[in-house]
Structure 1
Amino acid sequence: MKTPFVTLEQLQAITAQYPTPFHLYDEKGIRENARRLRAAFAWNPGFKEYFAVKATPNPAILKILREEGCGTDCSSLTELMMSDRCGFQGSEIMFSSNDTPAEEFVLADRLGATINLDDFTHIDFLQETIGHIPQKISCRYNPGGTFSIGASKEGFQVMDNPGEAKYGFTRAQLTEGFRKLKAMGAKCFGIHAFLASNTLSNEYYPTLAGILFQTAVELKEETGCEITFINLSGGVGVPYKPDQPANDIAAIGEGVRRKFEEILVPAGMGNVAIFTELGRFMLAPYGCLVTRATHEKHTYKEYIGVDACAANLMRPAMYGAYHHITVMGKENAPCDHKYDVTGSLCENNDKFAIDRMLPKIDKGDLLVIHDTGAHGFSMGYNYNGRLRSAEVLLQSDGSTRLIRRAETPDDYFATLIW
């Protein structure tokens, strides 16, 4: 069973001030989770979490994370601009992009961000664009093939296909790239990789770390480059379904430490800093989409219409992703009604749930759609002219603060030339 981080009484008060739908975030949960992550990697003096801005691009959230010692991982011009405006500086910003426009490399360099190159050809492009190669540089590694760690003790198998991904250097390109970058003036090097998404296994990060640590040792021997950091990127997931096991970040950190001691320390690389880029793990459970039941329909199936739609949360429509739903005030009622929970878009995939067993839902009921704190609001769009919703922060003291107002028709029309 998933329990919302907000009560019905709290929501009734919040919705009296902010009309549904809106995304609600839990400041207390965000801070506690950031501290658990930091504690899990406290054994590494240089550890830093670079929060993936694309997951939740809101200044209020970014400022909370900065207070908790995090940096930002950016992949676009506007994400760099937002990080800058939120007070992140220099090495607090990691810029990882692909098919990168020149202006984005220019801004990343001006801000002093650590640039993580996605492709061998980007070395010359970067040089031509900014006129030099930064002294500190990183390269993204794609080992190709199929990545698998088999069955974990939780019974979950991690499999993905890096060879089908558009990202990263091949292994041979990594060696050639390090040599070329060194000859062009780079002094400090990093390695980055992302091999699987939303893994529910404490073994994923240690396995990835082992691959990257061994690669780092080989690259140092082959090129003589000084590797100062290794970025394990993202991929540590969250349990969207109530019966899925949650990752144990302390166990994950300990697993990475063992690989570090086993591989890097004997190679004389015990001073390498470990970085992470966790968007989903950092934020998903600490955000929810609050919506209200507005219609019911009885045809070939039973439908509940809500005032949110896929424009507010795209993942179920786009991926068939599961997001748990709590009918507030009916948490302990029997789930004896089968519904499709739908939005108002003129698309049949605009459904938050299909054939979901839920308590009887009445018009006016408040629904909490769980785990939308990452890749929720940020993936919103304006199809059908639907307007993007507000974002509200439930602060640690129990008060609320509007951190993004809802769009208005004037916003929607503002970029049009009549």
Structure 2
Amino acid sequence: MYLHGTSKINAQGHLEIGGCDTTDLAKQYGTPLYIVDEALVRQRAREYVESFRASGLKFQVAYASKAFSVMAMCAIAEQEDLSLDVVSDGELYTALKAGFPVQRIHFHGNNKTPDEINMALDANIGCFVVDNFVELQLLNALAGDKGKKANVLLRVTPGVEAHTHDYISTGQQDSKFGFDLANGSAYRAIQETDALTNLELLGVHSHIGSQIFEVEGFQMAAAKVAEFAVQIRSELDVTFRVINLGGGFGIRYTAEDKPLPVAQYIKAITDAIKTNFSEANYPLPEIWVEPGRSMVGDAGTTLYTIGTSKDIPGVRKYIAVDGGMTDNPRPALYESKYEAVIANRANAPIEETVTVAGKCCESGDKLIIDCELPKAEIGDLLAVFCTGAYNYAMASNYNRIRRPAVVFVKDGQSDVAVKRESLDDIVGNDVIPARMKQASTAK
């Protein structure tokens, strides 16, 4: 059993996280329940910041809030001297409501609406990451209407294919994101941006994918971006002050995953930047990165209560929990794998291999296939590890199932960061049109 962060098995044989017994958390808050190990989140943040400080380069570490966007996480990001990426008005609003410093907010996205851009301009955010020519013109026009000049990075696709799932690879040429280096669109975007009066070009952004376990892709992207920067300075007399190499740093979900230490990723990136830019006699730019999953992924645990079971002799045994694809759609989307433990009997010996099924009305609602566990009983608590990223963020109300609460735990204290949805919340935005009410009365 691999335990992350502050997780341990206590004297009662129960899983404990952040000094809190998970059986007590289940009694107090109910299940399903997202549990966040606050100390581990802060540790990860400090690993990034300290690794960059050791490089001597100017830098920003921006937490990619798409991984897990709640006000409490924004507060931690501020306290740990991080910047913040947002990709929608909802994520921006969350950051603003949390009081996050606006100059450290970066706005991403391949289809920002005029309303979202205006909201960000009114808030005076630090930077827009521009994704296409349509957005370039729209942002320039809207900034001009407000008498403002917006800082921008241009997102480029460097043609680097990360060794990851197709749906989370973003740096290859065939991508919905960014201006392509190979076909000349990135070059034309620089020319166009430089001519627009309401935009201030800081540099370029590159992101090659997610859940990456090697440094070669980042090094190759750094080299390609540096080569492009040198060409742009030589031919267009434009010098990049900022290079953003994105995120995608992998974490351990199962024993198959072999992530590198944060310091190793960052040293590879900063060394590649120093080498490629220094050799070209180019001023060393400020380096930005955007960790999301690697900041919060292994700090999250989802706690379920086990209910029914079904044994199909010679085929499979299912055990069902009180959540499923509504609180974790990643297995259905990406065939993502997880590890789990019976939280209230964490020291019990392994007795069987089961498939953990959710309660949604979908045959594909399987959280873990071939999970080795002690013999599960009704009422046992199942803890699924590494659910801090893209779980709450992607949760839904399919089957009108309520989204779980989120609690942060640290030093024996637990605090609600997101309240559990109520049944009234489920119907809170529903409206029966007056004509339908009239039709019912007429009968």
TM-score, structure 1 normalization: 0.92
- Contact 1:205/1:236 (8 A) holds in 2: no
- Contact 2:51/2:266 (8 A) holds in 1: yes
How far has the Cα of 1:247 moved from its partner? Answer: 1.5
The CA deviation string for residues 138-177 of structure 1, in whole angstroms up to 9 with x for no partner, is 1000134x62589xxxxxxx98772232110122122221
Helix, strand or coil at the partner of 2:371: strand
The reply on whether 1:274 has 2:284 as its aligned counterpart is no
- Contact 2:171/2:207 (8 A) holds in 1: no
Q: Aligned equivalents of 1:89 and 1:112: distance in 2?
A: 10
Q: Aligned equivalents of 2:276 and 2:400: distance in 1?
A: 54
The reply on whether 1:415 has 2:425 as its aligned counterpart is no
The residue correspondences of 1:278-293 to structure 2 (distance < 5 A) are: 278-293=291-306
The one-letter code of the counterpart of 2:32 is P
- Partner in structure 1 of residue 407 of structure 2: 392
Q: Aligned equivalents of 1:394 and 1:332: distance in 2?
A: 22
Inter-CA distance 148–291: structure 2 relative to 1 (3 Å threshold): closer
- Partner in structure 2 of residue 205 of structure 1: 218
Q: Aligned equivalents of 2:263 and 2:334: distance in 1?
A: 30
- Contact 1:97/1:116 (8 A) holds in 2: yes
Helix, strand or coil at the partner of 1:401: strand
Q: Aligned equivalents of 1:273 and 1:56: distance in 2?
A: 26
Q: Aligned equivalents of 1:306 and 1:77: distance in 2?
A: 34
- Contact 2:330/2:391 (8 A) holds in 1: yes
The residue correspondences of 1:169-180 to structure 2 (distance < 5 A) are: 169-171=179-181, 172-180=184-192
Q: Aligned equivalents of 1:404 and 1:276: distance in 2?
A: 27
- Contact 1:188/1:226 (8 A) holds in 2: no
- Partner in structure 1 of residue 66 of structure 2: 54
- Partner in structure 2 of residue 39 of structure 1: 50
Larger radius of gyration, structure 1 or 2? 2
Inter-CA distance 200–330: structure 2 relative to 1 (3 Å threshold): farther
Q: Aligned equivalents of 2:81 and 2:395: distance in 1?
A: 28
How far has the Cα of 1:187 moved from its partner? Answer: 4.0
The one-letter code of the counterpart of 1:2 is Y
- Partner in structure 1 of residue 175 of structure 2: 165
- Partner in structure 1 of residue 253 of structure 2: 240
Q: Aligned equivalents of 2:170 and 2:81: distance in 1?
A: 31
Q: Aligned equivalents of 1:147 and 1:343: distance in 2?
A: 34
The one-letter code of the counterpart of 1:402 is V
- Partner in structure 1 of residue 41 of structure 2: 30
1:339 is matched with which residue: 336, 344, 354?
354
Gap regions ≥5 residues in structure 2: 433-443
- Partner in structure 2 of residue 3 of structure 1: 3
Helix, strand or coil at the partner of 2:241: strand
Q: Aligned equivalents of 1:383 and 1:267: distance in 2?
A: 54
How far has the Cα of 1:69 moved from its partner? Answer: 0.6
Q: Aligned equivalents of 1:368 and 1:194: distance in 2?
A: 32
The one-letter code of the counterpart of 1:69 is D
The CA deviation string for residues 209-267 of structure 1, in whole angstroms up to 9 with x for no partner, is 22222222222222212311111111111121124222121112221222122111243
Q: What's the RMSD between the two structures over aligned residues?
A: 2.2
2:107 is matched with which residue: 89, 95, 98?
95
TM-score, structure 2 normalization: 0.87
The reply on whether 1:83 has 2:95 as its aligned counterpart is yes
The reply on whether 1:119 has 2:128 as its aligned counterpart is no
The one-letter code of the counterpart of 2:129 is N
Gap regions ≥5 residues in structure 1: 151-157
The reply on whether 1:128 has 2:141 as its aligned counterpart is yes
- Partner in structure 2 of residue 147 of structure 1: 161
Q: Aligned equivalents of 2:429 and 2:150: distance in 1?
A: 40
Q: Aligned equivalents of 1:402 and 1:135: distance in 2?
A: 37
How far has the Cα of 1:68 moved from its partner? Answer: 0.4
Helix, strand or coil at the partner of 1:41: helix
The one-letter code of the counterpart of 2:416 is L
Q: Aligned equivalents of 2:327 and 2:77: distance in 1?
A: 24
How far has the Cα of 1:178 moved from its partner? Answer: 1.4
- Partner in structure 1 of residue 25 of structure 2: 14
